[in-house]
Amino acid sequence: MESLAGKVGQLMMVGFEGLRPPRHILHWLASGRIGGVYLFARNVASPTQVKRLVTDCRAAAKQPILVGIDQEGGAVARLREGFTESPGAMSLGAAGDLQLAEDIAYMMGRELAALGFNWNLAPVADLARQRDNPSIGTRALGRDPQLVSDTVAAQIRGFQRAGAAATAKHFPGLGSSVIDTHDAPAKTKGSLNDLFQEDLAPFRAAIAADVGCIMLTHVIYDQLDAKRPATLSPRIASGLLRDEFGYDGVVCTDCMEMKAITDEFGAGESAALAIEAGVDMVLFSHTRAAQTAAYEAALASARSGRWSAERIDQSVRRIRMLKRRFPLDDAPPIEIVGCDAHRSLAARAARAGLALLRQGEALPLDADSAQVGLIEFSAPQAADGAAAEVPSQFAAYLSRRLPGVKCVKIDPSSEAANRTADVDSMARVADRIILVTRNAHMQPAQLQSAQLVCERARKVILVCARNPYDAGLLKGADTIICTNGDSKPSLLAAVDAICGETIPTGKLTVEI
């Protein structure tokens, strides 16, 4: 019979630093103190290195474990160089092709399985309800509940058919918040009718698709529980998700080291509260001290009778069922990772996700086009580093096709006055300017400089490389292309469109 300490350990999922598992992680796996690990970009150097790391973790474990990663595609993808990058969720939504969305998820899932992952913390089931949401953006498929529901179900089918448990996140919906829970507690006061009719619809679809796991968000929903975030709320984790929706799969937290949790509850008590609320797996992404505090507090709570033995057994049963369901028995060879067929599929999906909002006389461009300039705003750093893991290569991609292009890259965090000279000089000299913005709608300095380009340049080809909302604010562009995300295949697709090799057919899934 498994000890109580071993059962509590099954509920603990942790991250760590480095390209190899630290000694304490191997010890925890061997002793059953954790039920699995999940990786970040900080753990990734190459496919063979990742495979070796995962293999070492599995070899150390005394029983089957979950090995997870956030591989949504687009802005949040921990596996990039050497792997197959895919377009993000909003691009898939814009493509409007459910089979394509399932095929992309299956491709990503097969690469995960080849590396030893049996758990993907994707897809995002949130609606793009709030343009100023700092953490969702193009990670969402769109605004329409039906579109999002249908596409989330397709993604789940793809991931899980490939051998990786999917995770619908962030229950009961993160789309209405304007605060990033990495930075601070967030609260939403939306009506219950909106929540049930809109935000929760994709999660119902995920449950109907037999999703392996559902992740709770750290947002407080006043109409459901005015005191505790969803992660720690029995009303949401047990009452809404279990009792009302009938979901009996695994429920996990978002990272418990985000400030929305740590600033008020601390590691130990937050872990105890989450399990008390009905959570099965508690995720601590970063520090050994927080992970230790969480485990010790959870074990102390179990020993004290704070939860019944039956409560712990319920979670252990669900977790073991998930592991048995995704055993990776038929994992493909590592050679499929980054293969030509996968890259070709990602390129096709990225092209299908391009939206052409306005077509003027500025396109197409070719190697003989004279006086072409590029003004590109670099990617703003996301709270968890996810959206800026790899610097944009748009200028490099464009220069291969248009060797004479003159490029200016601008850091959006610098003051607008410091950029005026570069912007003004380029706008006066170039015959046509390609203007690449990234979430200018949330950055007044970037918006001001981008509008200056539109006003002073002869012809502007506006490429909205993140959220498409910039297109609704910038006036005077001759041509407008929305990539709906700026992963490598989406940027390459934009270059193809600029050079006349593809005509964008995607449809925006948000109102601008």
Active site residue 182: yes
User: Amino acid letter at 40?
Assistant: F
Catalytic residue among 180, 254, 470, 486: 254
Spell out the residues 6+ positions from residue 448 whose beta carbon is closer than 8 angstroms to its own.
416
- Residue 235, Ramachandran bin (φ over 0: left; ψ between -120 and 50: alpha; else beta): alpha
Q: Is 271 exposed, middle or buried (0-12, 13-18, 19+ CB in 10 A)?
A: buried
**Can you tell me the distance from the alpha carbon of 167 to that of 251, in angstroms, rounded to the nearest whole number?**
9
**Can you tell me the distance from the alpha carbon of 211 to that of 152, in angstroms, rounded to the nearest whole number?**
10
Catalytic residue among 97, 150, 182, 384: 182
How far is residue 398 from each of residues 157, 293, 350, 484, measured CA to CA in Å? 36, 50, 16, 18
**Closest to 218 measured CA to CA, from 178, 184, 191:** 184
Number of Cβ within 10 Å of residue 485's Cβ equals 29
**Can you tell me the distance from the alpha carbon of 414 to that of 428, in angstroms, rounded to the nearest whole number?**
22
The SS3 assignment for 283 reads: strand
Q: What are phi and psi of 234, to 5 degrees?
A: -60, -35
- For the chain, the farthest-separated pair of C-alpha atoms sits apart, in whole angstroms, at 77
**Can you tell me the distance from the alpha carbon of 100 to that of 33, in angstroms, rounded to the nearest whole number?**
40
**Can you tell me the distance from the alpha carbon of 128 to that of 202, in angstroms, rounded to the nearest whole number?**
12
Active site residue 330: no
- Pull the structure tokens for residue 162: 């490939």
Chain centroid to CA 134? 12
Active site residue ranges? 182, 254
